[in-house]
A and B are shown apart, each in its own frame.
Chain A
Amino acid sequence: MILQIIGALFASFFFGILFNVSKKELLYCGFIGGFGWFIYLNFLTLTNSIVFSSFLGTLGVSILSRIFAKIRKVPVTIFLISGIIPLVPGAGMYRTMYAMLEKNFEDSSFYGIQTLQIAGVIAIAIIFTSSFPFISKNKGV
């Protein structure tokens, strides 16, 4: 599990480079990605629900991104985009397609709906923290 979290940390770091995040912020991007995956994995073992864990993982990522954006005085997107990447349901997309190729439509609709659910809860989790007014609406952050 520790290995996976370190993997997520490095993955987010390198995704930061792909999105041309400036050098100063890269480490923070990596940290946020690792943190999100840490929450996701812990709740996955606890509740065994991928959708719920994705929700909490994204919630963690977006709260931390907002805090870091405030501290580092950069737009919150920079941290949010790189940090969320490990949680984006790429695996679900692949499994949906794979099952479809095998003409296994039962699996394919199961994975397809799960992918949509994950995408949905990720969206809701971002909305949840972005519209929460606790860190004043300092526009531009």
Chain B
Amino acid sequence: MNHKMLLKFAIKAGEIMLKSGAETYRVEDTIIRILSVYNLDVVEAFVTPTGIFATIDDETIEMITFTKRIKNRSIRLDKVSLVNDLSRQFVAGKISLKDAIKKLDEIDKTPPYPSYIFIGATAFASTFSTAVFGGNIKDCIISLFIGIALGSVQTFFNKTNTSRFFIDLIGGGLIGFLAILFTNFIPSANLDQIIIGCIMPLVPGVAITNAVRDTIEGDLLSGISKGVEAFFVAVSIATGVGIILKIWFMLKQGGFL
């Protein structure tokens, strides 16, 4: 029995899940389940959205504590599901610790969807959201183009490790600008529907859902911090769109256009 290896495995599994957008209580639960395999006296895990702490202790070993700080996060629900599967297999005894560690490394390296698919998905997500909110066919086509621009900008900034809030601010501004540009040249296109549809890919759906689910499970600290994250993302988007619209109003009123 190698306790250190087990703890490292558990922490690594938790780290991947937390980074990929799993709920905090699920991460805690996974770590405790993995650590409980050795039937130790003390198994404790404390997870917040920005860090993991876990301790194991038993009469036969020295107490071991491991702390892991989590910095950059991205939404990788495929990894959440893969690690979830792996931890279940491990707990059920279907896979040895060594194999599990190897498999975990493989999961960590799974590539996301390639950029062109990401950009395409952003474009179509905007298009169909515009349709959902009652845009006409012209609005949908405009949204498709704005979506492509938005997806490209997001991919570019994601590579440079820029803060999420800044990307949302820029994204909101871009949407506002392009939407005004297109609606001015194309008659019978609706500014509202286009903007609403196009901001949907930026809307913090994951943060909102996880904030609620963490709160239900009694993980109040995480619930609050995710809620704050969602709120600031929403404010960033609104500010981005708002600044551009405000400039547009001012230009119009000033008679420059």
Contact = CB atoms under 8 A, between A and B. Distances in A.
Interface of A: 3-4, 7-8, 10-11, 14-15, 17-22, 25, 37, 73-75, 77-78, 80-81, 84-86, 88, 90-91, 93-98, 100-102, 119, 122-123, 126-127, 130-131, 139-140
A75 to B, nearest CB: 5
Interface stretch (B53-61, B98-106, B237-245): B237-245
Contacts, number: 155
Contacts of B153: none
A45 to B, nearest CB: 13
Contact of B77 (A8, A21, A101, A102): A21
Interface string B71-102: 00001111111101101100000000000000
A10 B241 CA distance: 25
Contacts of B213: 77, 80, 126, 130
The 5 closest A-B pairs by CB, nearest first: A7-B131, A11-B128, A17-B121, A14-B125, A22-B78
Contacts of A90: 129, 196, 199-200, 203
B148 interface: no
Given A85-B200, A101-B245, A119 B81 contact: no
A91 B199 CA distance: 9
B164 interface: no
A80 B211 CA distance: 13
A88 B88 contact: no
Nearest to A86: B132
Given A11-B129, A17-B121, A84-B205, A75 B26 contact: yes
B75 A4 contact: no
Contacts of B125: 11, 14-15, 17-18
Nearest to A41: B132
B26 A98 contact: no
A20 B78 contact: yes
- Report the contact-size class of chain B (Cβ under 8 Å from the partner): 35 or more
B21 A19 contact: yes
B210 interface: yes
B212 A127 contact: yes
Contacts of A75: 22, 26, 80-81, 84
29 contacts: A4-B132, A8-B132, A10-B128, A15-B121, A15-B200, A15-B201, A19-B77, A19-B206, A20-B20, A20-B113, A74-B81, A77-B21, A80-B213, A86-B129, A86-B200, A88-B205, A91-B196, A94-B195, A94-B196, A96-B238, A97-B242, A98-B192, A122-B212, A123-B208, A130-B213, A131-B216, A139-B29, A140-B29, A140-B87
A126 B249 contact: no
Central interface residue in B21, B75, B192, B208, by most chain A CB within 10 Å:
B208
Contacts of A96: 238
